[in-house]
Structure 1
Amino acid sequence: MEDIVKKLTSTLEKLYGALGLGTAIAVALLILLHHSDISAGYIGPFFTFLHVISGVLWIGLLYYFNFVQIPTAPKLPAELKPAIGKFIAPEALFWFRWAAASTVATGLIIFASGAAVINNTIVIGAILGLIMAYNVWFLIWPNQKIALGITPADDAAKAKSARLAMLVSRTNFVLSIPMLYCMVTARLVG
């Protein structure tokens, strides 16, 4: 038993180990629950699952930025601020961008597979999501690169880019509320 606890602890200590374990459990459940009828009909549900996981990561990071990082950063002592700009924000923005891309890609696969319930509610949610993804890749990320010093710029340009990135992030936060409403209720409201 002690060896099992050590292996589990070792797995949980590593991000990709934990991700692999969660994935293995999900695959095991798929096999256990649907072993007799796994077929092409599971493409839609499988990509819906990936869409939800990607969306949770994307919107979770959006909410982290808007509820935690943006309000807290100005209160940090000056000696701690470089940690956000050099380590935390670039890593969070990496996952933020790619979660947005994955959410869009899996959503398009769901639509193309015919697994989506196509109605005005889901279309509105998808349009809002596409606007948000555009904002992530073409407004937030380019401005964050300047604000964080990844792209060289003077202090005035960094401050201007930081403000624009924050405002676009806040816009995505606002859009996330009706987008999530549409995505969650699309099958209910038609």
Structure 2
Amino acid sequence: MASKPARRKQNPDARMPLREHLLEFRKRIILVAIGIAVFTVAGWFVYTPVFEALQAPILRAADTGDGLVAINFEGLATALDMQIKVSVVIGVVASSPWWLYQLWAFVSPGLRSTERRYTAGFLGAAVPLFLGGVALAWWVFPHAVQILTDFRPENTTNLLNAQMFMTFAMRLVLAFGLAFVFPVVMVALTWSGAVPSRTWLKGWRWAVMGIFVFAAIMTPTPDAITMIIMAIPMCALYFGAIGVGALRERSRRRRAARQQDSADADA
């Protein structure tokens, strides 16, 4: 009597259907929002020293030049609105390990169970890169303010709209932080099989052009040196991410070939 065919074991790493992906995405978004909200409350209490640090280059420009340079709060609720926005940005920066972990947790179901142990490696790379981008933007910001205010003619007044000034500062900080962490996301997408490394490599010209355009927009100083200083590390991280993804793909192919050879030998 012929034996019944053995049942296939369920693959724990099988890809989730679309509905489960959407539910998982919603769950991660809620967790991210809760984490940011908690740190936003903490950011409310450190708003004053952060605002003083952001205002410092304006005060220096006012001391070294002729005329008035100051931040102007135009509306009645402008100061409150700005404090809320700055607190949210502080919350985003401070909670970066939390929401980066949620990003990894959303991507990791596409990885094999043996690869999910790289969570610590992902966070160990993503968090310092994000904070490094934030620190770089923090370093660029006062230089940009100083250079831009130097264009003001003598004996003139430069009253900076508080909302626009703070929006520019916060956008700069978050943009550089996210730009520096994007290569780690590239690696995660390559490891999950969502985007092969050759796809990233094929688009390297567009990526480099986009990086330099981004650097030109986000560094409002008129000199090209600052733009190049910003763009070169981002390009290096982009190609480094491609290299890491390609090495992992090659390792997978070698492991698959060994398993195939072992299966052929046992047949």
Q: TM-score, normalised by structure 2?
A: 0.26
Give the helix-richer structure, 1 or 2.
1
Q: Which has the larger radius of gyration?
A: 2
- Higher relative contact order structure (alpha carbons within 8 Å, sequence separation ≥ 6): 1
Q: TM-score, normalised by structure 1?
A: 0.34
